A and B are shown apart, each in its own frame.
Chain A
Amino acid sequence: MSLIVFLTSDEHFQDEWSRRQNMPEVRDWPEKLLPIIEEFSACFDSMERYELLFQYAKRNPSPLHPEEWNEQNQVLGCQSRAHVSCSLDDEGNFILRGGADAQIVQGLMTITAIALNGMDPSHVSAMTPDFAEEMGIKSSLSPSRANGFLNMFNRVKDEASLLSEGE
């Protein structure tokens, strides 16, 4: 006798319905994030969301290539490798360049860059990472998971704070 019970697609649907019913009402994201959140919200299940995240990983608008990875730009506390470099463009707008060997972190990094690039650094430093939860990538937000997204996001905020102070 099999000891394992797998969810049927009906149960999948109920799980997904329940997740969407429990979404927070407040949407205080940068405007560029809204279509992305909508795109993720339209996914059938978590595997489809991860698949979409893998696709975003390949579309980083401002990549930090592996040959540029070093100890200074490494995000500490990740088991996978993640590197970020934050700067301001000629007009003083925030630019995040990043790279990671894990596609899930890389995908979240891409979405973060799409959201933050061009913003005032003081606004970046006030951002929260809960858009990932809104997208249904909740597990990436758990600090006990060693996948690095939270560490990456906090590092970006810290650097944005320093840049906004003119350092």
Chain B
Amino acid sequence: MPLDVESIRSDFPILGRKLPNGKQLVYFDNAATSQKPQCVIDAMSKYYSEYNSNAHRANHTLADEATTALEGARMSISTFFGTSPDQMVYTSGATEAINLVSYAWARENLSADDVIVLTEMEHHADIVPWQQLSKEKGVEVRYVPIDTDSFTLDMDAFEVAVKGASLVCVVHTSNVLGIRNPIERIVELSHSQGARVLLDCAQGAPHERIRFDDSEVDFVAISAHKMGGPTGIGCLLVKKDAMEQMGPFMTGGSMIKTVSTDGSTFQVGHAMFETGTPRIAEAIGWGAAVEWLEQFDMKEVHSHINRIASWTAGRISEIEGITVYGDPSRNDSSGAVSFLHDSIQSQDLALLLDEGGFAVRTGHHCAQPLMNALGVPSTNRASFWLYNTMEEAEAFVDHLSYVADRFSDK
């Protein structure tokens, strides 16, 4: 059933906002962070106003309610991602999830003889942890290039790079290009070499239902704030055999079992990796977000976003001077539409779009190796989610055409 977008929009009070210049907000920066439905705002507010307390290890009523809500959220979130709560580690987001694999799994299991395979389209968060590991342990890091005509991964190069690899780290969907990588083929090739696979799903999870237990992926990193949840929380999904190979990373707080002057013992499973006081309000907020998302068929969500992105990319590529990077016309592409104008610098263009009420992102999008491959320093990026409308996209195309006509060098 098609999405009732008008009804969806009514759940997001911020979408009715007008900017200081009086223009109606048109929010097209969803790949950076999504807006939050009222139920998420309410759930977090209710926690702070009615039962704020530290979770676990207490017998009073508020602590019991906070613990129940925290663990209830874990159940909702893990169920949404098709796995069990004991395979989910709360983190601050996808970046911390990737760093957790780097510190808790890779440093325990990899040495100078090992190879890690990355791609040119990774976010910095999935590059720098491995560069640091390489410096520390001598692990070889290989990069799979993209085909700059199709904007897709060069899978022939991947087949060569994966030979002898121990770990393959790949982005599910590019935050710049909107391209969804052939994950199933990547996992098959990686596992045939005995390599584990880490999937960065920061951009994929808001578009596609992740079914972790049905997949062969070993690690999945997710951020809540790009899928209706609050900032500051995310998770790492881990296969049971991989979790058994992980050692403690950060220490203290919830991960402790016992401490004496002779030494310490730690919790096992996901609890070993959740240090300090949990992000209780954020977890509760994310739980509310996934429960809200459960009412939709994620295939419909994807189709809606893909349709707007594909239409927008097609129309803006007809504007003189505009080049689109990526291929939103592919059925599996996300809602990210990156583009540049040949004579209006990207920062200028972003300000001129903002004057019309359109919020888009500008810069290298934390993907400088990809920018180098594309031969550009930055792009403008419009990115859509389930509450965006074709009317908004039409207004955006009209305003961009107007700006290009008025401000380009003639």
Contacts and interface: CB of A to CB of B under 8 A. Distances in A.
A4 B59 CA distance: 51
A6 B402 CA distance: 15
Contact of A15 (B21, B406, B407): B21
Given A46-B21, A47-B355, A139-B354, A4 B26 contact: yes
A104 B347 contact: yes
Contacts of A147: 347, 351
Nearest to A100: B345
A48 to B, nearest CB: 9
Interface residues on B, range: 20 to 34
Interface string A95-125: 0000001111100000000000000000000
B248 interface: no
Given A3-B6, A104-B351, A51 B407 contact: yes
Interface residues of A, number: 28
B374 interface: no
A79 B352 CA distance: 16
Contacts of A146: 347, 363
Interface in A1-51: 1-7, 11-12, 15, 46-47, 50-51
A47 B355 CA distance: 8
A132 B267 CA distance: 58
Nearest to A78: B347
Interface in B336-387: 344-348, 351-352, 354-355, 362-363, 378
Given A3-B9, A47-B352, A102 B345 contact: yes
Contacts of B134: none
A80 interface: yes
A79 B363 contact: yes
A54 interface: yes
A7 B378 contact: no
A79 B31 CA distance: 19
Contacts of A79: 347, 362-363, 378
A6 B363 CA distance: 28
The 6 closest A-B pairs by CB, nearest first: A80-B347, A102-B347, A102-B345, A2-B391, A15-B22, A102-B348
